[in-house]
Amino acid sequence: MLTLTIKDNETLHIGDDIKIVIKRANGATSKVSIEAPKAVKILRDKLVR
């Protein structure tokens, strides 16, 4: 697992098609925006179990 420390409004790219933007991180919560093709399933971990 890769663990990163990034600042607000920084962007991560996964491959050519997936972009993740940390919109706001403060204390215990964060806002994350994910841009990916519709074929990519995006779920919270608690929904997978």
Q: Rounded to whole angstroms, how far apart are CA atoms 31 and 16?
A: 22
At residue 33, does pLDDT exceed 80? Answer: yes
At residue 43, does pLDDT exceed 90? Answer: yes
What is the domain extent for residue 30?
1-38
Residue 45 in any domain: the answer is no
Number of domains, the chain:
1
Q: Rounded to whole angstroms, how far apart are CA atoms 11 and 5?
A: 12
List, in sequence order, the alpha helices (H) in the chain.
45-48
* Prediction pTM value: 0.77
Residue 31 in any domain: the answer is yes
At residue 30, does pLDDT exceed 90? Answer: no
Residue 44 in any domain: the answer is no
Residue 49 in any domain: the answer is no
Residue 32 in any domain: the answer is yes
Give 2-17 pLDDT, tens digit per residue: 999 988 899 999 999 9
Residue 5 in any domain: the answer is yes
Residue 48 in any domain: the answer is no
Q: How confident is the model at residue 35 (pLDDT cuts 50, 70, 90)?
A: very high
Distance spanning both ends of the chain, measured CA to CA: 19
Helix (H) or strand (E) holding 31: strand 29-35
Across the chain, what does the average pLDDT equal? 92
Residue 43 in any domain: the answer is no
Looking at the DSSP bridge assignments, the partners of residue 18 are 14
